[in-house]
Structures are given as C-alpha cells and as structure tokens.
Structure 1
C-alpha cells in the first residue's frame, strides 16, 4: 500500500535534516519506493504494514538516527487525497489555507483552541470529514493567536499542519 508520512517540526527551530537522509532512514526501516515532497518532511513510500505499526517503526528509526524525539503521522493515499479534495475554502491568493494531519479526534481539540483564540479579520477554522482546516490572511500566520497555540509543546505529539498546496504536490507524486 502507498502511504505518506507527515513529519512534525522538520527544518524549523534547529531541527535540520536533508530529505535524502530521511528517505534513507525510511529505506533502512524496510520501506519501499521512498521519495520526498518538499523539505518540510513529506515522505511517500510503500509498505505492507498498517499505519499504526508504521508510525511506531518510523518514529523510532527517525529518533534513533537524528537523535531527537520524532513525531510523524502516516496516511494512506486515499486518506491523503481527502485533505486536498475536502478543503472547504475557495482558493484565494490573499490567504493561506492549512490542513492538519494528526491523531484521531485532534480536529476537535484544534477547533476548541481555535474558538477560544482571538481572531484576525477573515480568519476561519472548519472541520470537514474529521479534518481541521484553517484559513488566515497571508502575513498573519505566525502572529495570530491560534498560530501561537500550534507551537505548544503539549500538542507536539498530536498533529502537524501543511499548507493546502502541499497536498496537491503530494498527490501529483503519488
């Protein structure tokens, strides 16, 4: 089965890794047809194992090799496609749209945090098909109240986010 692993915290805040090395770690862990999409930690691969087992195997392999506490989320190709096709927001060049990949029910945790955060004008959050989507005017992502919540250490093992355009690139590479 084809999968995409979404790594959290790659090439931000001092956690730097080359995608060629990450791909080699995946290959050494038994994954096949391994390739990366962008430098943000999106690894496409094939395996006959289930997503739960893959998460454990790959987090351990990444943690051991790079000497850090790795968090990643594994979705099969059909699940990955839903992040792109279920996006509730129209494409608008003035906005960034993010989709969140994570543990089961993380969308409800994110919505609760979003609802309690102060918002910028036209900032929106919506859950579709158990996926949390966030749209924010360009230039406001890191300064927004919700954006700051996303960096909380208590949530680091719960999810990662990707710009919606990243999912389009991943699907083209599948």
Structure 2
C-alpha cells in the first residue's frame, strides 16, 4: 500500500535534515519506493504494514538516527486524496488553506481552540469527515491567535498541517 508520512517540525527551529537522508532512514526501516516531496518532511513510500505500526517503527527510526524526538503521521494514498477532495474551501490568491493530519479526535480539539480564538477577517475553519481545515488570509498564518495556539508544545505530538498546495504535489507524485 502507498503511504505518505508527514513529519512534524522538520527544518524549523533548528531541526534541520536533508530529505535524502530521511529517505535513507525510511529505507533502512524496511520501507519501499521511498521519495520525498518538498523539504518540509513529506515522505511517500510503500509498505504492507498498517499505518499505526508504521508510525511506531518510523518515529523510532527517525528519533534514533537524528537524535531528536520525532513525531510523524502516516496516511494512505486514499486518505490523502479524500482529504484533498473534501476540502470545503475554494482556493484564492489571498488565502492559505491548511489541512491537518493527526491523531484521532484532534479535529475537535482544534475546532474548540479555533472557536475560542480571535479571528482575522475571512479566517474560518471546518471539519469534514474528521479532518480539520483552516483558511487564513496570507500573511496572518503565524500572527493569528489560532496560529499561535498551533505552536504550543502540549500539541506537538498530536498533529501537523500542510498547505493544500503541498497535498496537491503529494497526490501528483503518488
């Protein structure tokens, strides 16, 4: 089965790694047809194992190889295609759309945090099929009240997010 692993916190705040080296770690851990998409920690690969087993194997391999506490989320090709297809927002030049990948139930925690945060004009969020989607004006991603909540350390092992453009590139590479 084809999967994509979404690594959290790669090439930000001092956690720098080359995607070729990350791909090597995945291959050493038994993954096949390994390749990366962009430098933000999106690794496409094949395996016969289940996603939850792969998460454990790959987090351990990444943590040991790079000497850091690795967090990643594994989604099947079908799950990624569905998340992209179900995006409730229309793309526009002045907005970013993020799709969140994470632990079961994280979408409700994120929606609660979003609802309790002050919002920029035209900033909105929706949950579709247990996936959290966030639309924010360009330039406001890190400065928004919700954006600041996303960086909290107590949530770092719960989710990661990708811009819809990144998911389109991942689907194209499958």
Q: TM-score, normalised by structure 2?
A: 0.99
RMSD of equivalent CA atoms: 0.5
Residue matched to 1:82: 82
Instruction: Give the CA deviation at 1:109.
Output: 0.5
Instruction: Give the CA deviation at 1:83.
Output: 1.8
Residue matched to 1:47: 47
Superposed CA offset, 1:143-169 (max 9, x none): 000000000000000000000111100
Superposed CA offset, 1:72-120 (max 9, x none): 0000110011121010000111100000000001100000000001101
Q: Secondary structure at the match of 1:10?
A: coil
Q: How does 1:8-87 map to 2 (within 5 A)?
A: 8-87=8-87
Q: Secondary structure at the match of 2:125?
A: strand
Task: Note the residue ranges of structure 2 that are not aligned, 5 or more in a row.
Answer: none
Instruction: Give the CA deviation at 1:129.
Output: 1.1
Q: How does 1:1-174 map to 2 (within 5 A)?
A: 1-174=1-174
In structure 2, distance between residues paired with 1:119 and 1:28: 44
Instruction: Give the CA deviation at 1:131.
Output: 0.5
Segments ≥4 residues shifted beyond 2 Å: none
Task: Note the residue ranges of structure 1 that are not aligned, 5 or more in a row.
Answer: none
In structure 2, distance between residues paired with 1:21 and 1:88: 36
Q: Secondary structure at the match of 2:4?
A: strand
In structure 2, distance between residues paired with 1:88 and 1:53: 31
Instruction: Give the CA deviation at 1:127.
Output: 0.4
Q: TM-score, normalised by structure 1?
A: 0.99
